[in-house]
Amino acid sequence: MVTTNLNVRTEKVVKEKAEAIFNELGLNMTTAINIFLRTTIRENGIPFDLKLSEPNEVTKAAIEEGRKISRDKTIAGYTSVDELMEVLDK
């Protein structure tokens, strides 16, 4: 087996935290990175989901409620904070 060096730059705190976890698992950084690389090859891609953040269920419900309100012509709308405050003061 022929080996080669791989230089990776990361934040110091990221490295330290990852090393602590790997140590608890009985791994060193080299072994952990090799596991990642071999799994990438086996999976033919990144071995975990890469996705944009999704809102949680409460936020999704609030977004949907806001959309329904914006389409409902029976609900009053306001074009300024001052206009809203006038209605609230009544």
Residue 42 belongs to some domain of the structure: no
| pLDDT above 90: residue 38 | yes
Is the residue at 9 inside a domain?
no
Establish if 36 belongs to a structural domain. no
* Domain span including residue 74: 57-89
H or E element at residue 3? none
Q: Which structure tokens are listed for 28?
A: 């060193």
Q: Indicate the number of domains in the chain.
A: 1
For residue 10, is it within any domain? no
- Residue 8 maps to a domain: no
Q: What is the pLDDT of residues 18-29, one digit of tens each?
A: 999 999 999 999
Task: Give me the phi and psi of 42, to 5 degrees please.
Answer: -60, -40
Q: What is the pLDDT of residues 46-83, one digit of tens each?
A: 999 888 788 899 999 999 999 998 889 898 888 889 98
d(CA 29, CA 49) in angstroms, rounded, equals 22
**Within a domain: 16:** no
CA distances from 53 to 47, 58, 64, 74 (A): 18, 14, 17, 34
The predicted model scores a pTM of 0.56
